A = this chain, B = another copy of it.
Amino acid sequence: MRLTSKGRYAVSAMVDLNNQRDQGPITLSAISERQYISLSYLEQLFRRLRESGLVNSVRGPGGGYLLAKDAVDISVADIIRAVNEPVRTTMCENGIRGCHRGQRCDTHQLWESLGLHIYRFMDSVSLAQVCAKDAVLNHIQLGDVARYLPADPMAEGMIKIEAIS
């Protein structure tokens, strides 16, 4: 999980796309103007968003981009994952096994787990939640981070998140 301004750009663009979803296909130049992101850079980002199945494209005049699914089914993590390269594991050559110099990297699983947590958290925030607050309050309330649940509750213990205020 990488978190840089690249992901920020992508999230901003997707928010824009969803906010304008009644207008039919949205052109990148329109997004470019509203979000102050260069058209060419948006082209790069949307190539990836399309390849990840998050947006559909319509070519020709009147064309543009549309969300491929409902905003409640798109998480912030989906968007960030789409535009980022897969994380380069600098410390470990292979995946979860066999770390470099033939020795076990004893912090590998540790970071894997921590990364998983962050990932799940980001996956718990949907584009719809982000957009709703953007439109209404321009601000996300903590209480709206609905549920933060592991894919298999039995596997690793389970956390319940409740808004209590």
Residues of A within 8 A of B (CB): 1-5, 8-9, 11-12, 15-16, 34-37, 76, 87-91, 100-101, 105-107, 109-111, 113-114, 117-118, 121-122, 125, 130, 133-134, 138-145, 148, 150, 153-154, 156-165
- Chain B nearest CB: distance from A14 CB in Å? 10
Whether the Cβ atoms of B111 and A8 lie closer than 8 Å is yes
Which chain B positions have C-beta within 8 A of A158? 142-143, 163-165
Partner of A114, one of B91, B114, B125, B159: B125
In the complex, A16→B107 CA distance in Å?
9
Residue contacts A-B, CB under 8 angstroms, 30 given: A2-B3, A2-B4, A4-B4, A5-B90, A9-B91, A11-B107, A12-B91, A12-B110, A15-B110, A34-B106, A35-B107, A36-B101, A76-B114, A109-B139, A110-B130, A110-B134, A113-B139, A114-B125, A114-B130, A121-B121, A142-B158, A143-B156, A143-B157, A145-B159, A153-B165, A157-B165, A159-B161, A159-B164, A160-B164, A161-B161
- By beta carbon, the residue of chain B nearest A129 is B114
**Given A3-B2, A153-B165, does the pair A113, B91 have CB atoms closer than 8 Å?**
no
